[in-house]
Amino acid sequence: MSVMVAEKVYDYPWRRRIGLVTLGNLLVLLSVFSALYQLARGLLAANEGLVVWLRRTSWLRPLLDALSPLPQDLNLWMGEALGVLLWSLVGLLIALVLLNAFPAVRVSSRGLLVAFSGSWLPVAWEDLQHIHVTGDASGQRFILLVIPAKRAKRLTGWHRVYGLLYGTTLRPAFFISSDIDGFDQLLNTILQENARVIRGIEGGQPVVVDERRRSPLLGLLLRGESTAEAAPVAVNLPPTNQPDVVATMPRFSLVQIVTFGSATVILLLALLHYRSYWDRALSLLFPTYRSNPAALWVSRDPVYKAIFEAYQGVGVSLFGIAGRADLPAPFWLIIAAHIMLALAVIAGIAIVAAVPVVAVAGQQSLTMRYSRRLQGRRLSIVIPWTQIQACKVIDLGFGKQIAFVQSSRLPWFCRLCGLIVSGRWQPGVILVGTMTNWADLIVRCAERLNHLPPIKEIPRFQPTAFAPNLQLIGQPVATIKAMAVELAAGERSISSLLWAAARSMLLVSLPVGLMFSLPALIDGDRWPDMGMILGGLAFWLAGLLEWPLIVLISFLIHGNFTNEEDQARIFAFYPLVQMPRLLPMLLALVCLLINLPWLAALFWFGALAIAYWVTAALWVEVYEWDGSQVILGGLLPVIWNIFVMLGFWLLR
């Protein structure tokens, strides 16, 4: 007698679907708003009596101001309206596809129920015919395309889009990603229940799982997600009688105060800046709002003052003044406000997520929590030991230690922490050595991870890991010596070393370009243009130019170079030792986004201090300079960046 499967709903964690949900809902709002706005303008243009009534009704007059100027020729308006409605329809269709791309799946004894636009579409077990599989290079993340048989008519015509996006069929199908909760159990249930039902059907064929039918598009999306991640390892960790080790950060730890305090300040200032966008937009749209005491500051701006004088008693059109892309438009102000707020929220979350408050090392998993009291799923991350790629214990000097934990199971915003610590776009978090039970936590991590096979011949637990991006601050000369030994011991060619150095310098100089382009693009006081992007590229190139310029000047000062390999080694060293500048420059970028230019300048000066510190140590190691030569050599990147900074503030 077969056992019927119990009903269960499999859904995606909120952090995995928030991107698609946000983008889909934003498309819905923009599409509906654009269509209603265009139709309302046409309705008013065709009905002069309605315009007169709106003008006489004081509380509805701002609506008329927002819809002005009205179209003069209805024939021209109809062509324009048709284009807007078509684009709105396209936006709604794209939103429908995005919002239902990765649906919740409900299993029962009769088959699957696939979520679609608030309803459930049934797919019987016997109707499942093919499952096409696309995985990443590590074999750890997958996207499945489940294709029912042609006789199954329960999926909608929209589901043909998913087969088309996958690139292997035009039949209705749906996606299942390995990010869904209980993915392994769901896949096993599908295969077992399909086989159970097929056994009772004469001539029935079980579902075919085809790993050769890969999707080119989804393969590109998965590619690079886990370059250094390990494939799932089927290792049964031996049980232990020892209780779970709970390590907690001290309640008034300086690290916790800095992280939570910084995130709170960023979010509060972002909300204040968000309000300023709305003040500007509402003052342009509604003349009555210009006298609001909270918005009087807008009238003090010379640009807005000139606009208000030209539009006395009349609102500016939603899309701004025709032919004046250099002037503010309410529509772009509102869009820019939400982009700025989203970036600030991401920055705040990334800062908090980088340093968990509590770490619990159990038998099968490492759990990290961001609250001492609340232990809900949304405030904790549970990572099986087999899913941890590395746990590196790093000595920062001055008697301070941290552990850097890398895993693909961490949220995507933990990639910023991984970028700063390792220089790679891979997720990671930091466990601080001031936690209670720190020694026991490290011992448990070592005991659990040492049972697992290494990744690319590198042990998963590294008790004395080398992390130059962090160690250069506390012990620069010793770290550079260790880097030299590591490079000398490796078998990498000079060209590969220079290519790695070029990638590092591209990363180090990128924040300067973003600091020029991104705040200008979302400032809201003018429409975005190519000049803002090209200006950012120019400053990015100026940051890149520092690399050959400073190294060549050091050659001239030192002289006596006959070995080209030594010159290439110094060229490869310079960008690598500049990586610690990345953190203060990213913080400067966040400050510019929330309109704190003076604090951005302070962080930039902090980056220059780091540049002096690590560059002077570099010359001590490679040239054996001392005294005034070291001071002059350390000042070389500082002088160059001061010129870049002056140009930045003059052109901004």
Dump the DSSP string for 458-504: B-SEEEEE--HHHHHHH-HHHHHHHHHHHHHHS---HHHHHHHHHHH
pLDDT at res. 510: 92
Task: List b or e across 304-337, with b for residues whose CB sees 16 or more CB atoms inside 10 angstroms.
Answer: beebbeebeeebbbbebbeeeeebbbbbbbbbbb
Percentage above 90 pLDDT, the chain:
20
What share of the chain has pLDDT > 70, as a percent?
Answer: 92
CA atoms within 13 A on the CB side of 496: 5
CA angle at 204 for the pair 200 and 210, rounded to the nearest 5°: 125
DSSP 378-435: GGEEEEEGGGEEEEEEEEEETTEEEEEEEETTS-GGGHHHHHHHHSSS--EEEEETTS
- Write out the DSSP string of 287-341: GGGGG-GGGHHHHTSHHHHHHHHHTTTSPPPTT-STT-TTS--HHHHHHHHHHHH
Query: Measured between alpha carbons, how far is 463 from 445 in angstroms, rounded to an integer?
Result: 10
From the list 25, 30, 158, 44, the residue with the least C-alpha distance to 84 is 30
pLDDT at 398 over 80: no
Give the list of residues 6+ apart from residue 503 with CB closer than 8 angstroms, or none. none
Query: How far is residue 102's CA from residue 116's CA, in Å, rounded to a whole number?
Result: 10
Question: How many degrees, rounded to 5, is the angle at CA 400 between CA 399 and CA 402?
Answer: 145
Residue 395's pLDDT is 87
Asked whether 82 and 56 are in contact (CB, 8 A), the reply is no
Residue showing tokens 């991006």: 469
According to DSSP, the β-strands at 380-384 and 119-124 are unpaired
Mean pLDDT, residues 176-182: 87
Tell me the CA end-to-end span of the chain in Å, nearest whole number: 76
Gap between the Cα atoms of 62 and 330, Å rounded = 13
Taking residues 71-94, report their average pLDDT. Answer: 84
Rounded Cα distance, 116 and 100, in Å: 6
Under 8 Å between Cβ of 152 and 230: no
From 2-6, 310-314, 508-512, 513-517, the region with the lowest mean pLDDT: 2-6
| Mean pLDDT, rounded, for 171-197 | 88
pLDDT digits (tens, 9 = 90+) for 14-37: 767 777 888 888 888 888 888 888
Per the model's pLDDT, the better-predicted residue between 585 and 387 turns out to be 585
Q: Which of 402, 508, 501 is nearest to 445 (CA)?
A: 402
- Give the start-to-end residue ranges of the domains of the chain: 7-98, 103-198, 255-349, 354-464, 484-649
Nearest to 314 by CA among 284, 277, 279: 284
pLDDT band of residue 57 (cuts 50, 70, 90) is: confident
Confidence at residue 562, expressed as pLDDT on a 0 to 100 scale = 52
CB contact set of 251 (below 8 Å; sequence gap of 6+): 372
The answer to whether residue 229 scores a pLDDT higher than 50 is: no
Determine how many CB atoms are found less than 10 A away from the CB of residue 467: 19
- pLDDT of 374: 60
Give me the CATH code for the 354-464 domain, please: 2.30.29
**What's the rounded mean pLDDT across residues 476-502?**
76
Burial label for 87, CB within 10 Å (0-12, 13-18, 19+), is: middle
Q: Is residue 56 helix, strand or coil? A: helix
Q: Would you place residue 493 in the very low, low, confident or very high pLDDT band (cuts 50, 70, 90)?
A: low
* CATH architecture of the domain formed by 103-198: Roll (2.30)
Q: Span 261-281, mean pLDDT?
A: 92
Assess contact for 650 and 556: CB atoms under 8 A. Answer: no
Task: Pull the structure tokens for residue 43.
Answer: 């309705």
Closest residue by Cα to residue 167 from 145, 152, 148:
145
CA 292 from chain center: how many Å? Answer: 38
In whole angstroms, give the CA distance from residue 445 to residue 435: 14
Residues sharing a CB contact under 8 Å with residue 488, sequence separation 6 or more, in sequence order: none
Task: Judge contact between 99 and 86, C-beta under 8 A.
Answer: no
pLDDT at 330 over 50: yes
| String of DSSP letters for 529-557 | -HHHHHHHHHHHHHHHHHHHHHHHHHHHH
pLDDT digits (tens, 9 = 90+) for 377-391: 557 788 888 888 889
pLDDT at residue 265 is higher than 90: yes
Is pLDDT at 102 greater than 50 in this prediction? Answer: yes
The two structure tokens encoding residue 508: 């180090």
Residue 264 reports pLDDT greater than 60:
yes
CA 297 – CA 285 distance, rounded (Å): 16
d(CA 107, CA 91): 32
Residue-level pLDDT at 378: 57
**pLDDT at 347 exceeding the cut of 70:** yes
**Is the per-residue pLDDT at 202 higher than 60?**
yes
344-381: burial string, b at 16+ Cβ within 10 Å, e else: bbebbbbbbbbbbbbbbbbeebbbbbbeeeeeeeeebb
**Res. 337: pLDDT tops 80:** yes
Does pLDDT of 228 surpass 70? Answer: no
Instruction: Using pLDDT thresholds of 50, 70 and 90, give the confidence band for residue 105.
Output: very high
Average pLDDT over residues 596-625: 90
- Mean pLDDT, range 179-189, rounded to an integer: 87
Q: Do domains 103-198 and 354-464 have the same CATH topology?
A: yes
- pLDDT class of 517 with cuts at 50, 70, 90: very high
Q: What is the mean pLDDT of the chain?
A: 84
What's the pLDDT tens digit per position in 215-226?
Answer: 877 877 776 444
Amino acid in position 553: I
Q: By the 8 A CB rule, do 589 and 518 touch? A: yes
Q: Is the pTM above the cut of 0.85?
A: no
Q: Three-class SS string for 555-622?
A: HHHHCCCCCHHHHHHHHHHHHHHCHHHHHHHHHHHHHHHCCCHHHHHHHHHHHHHHHHHHHHHHHHHH
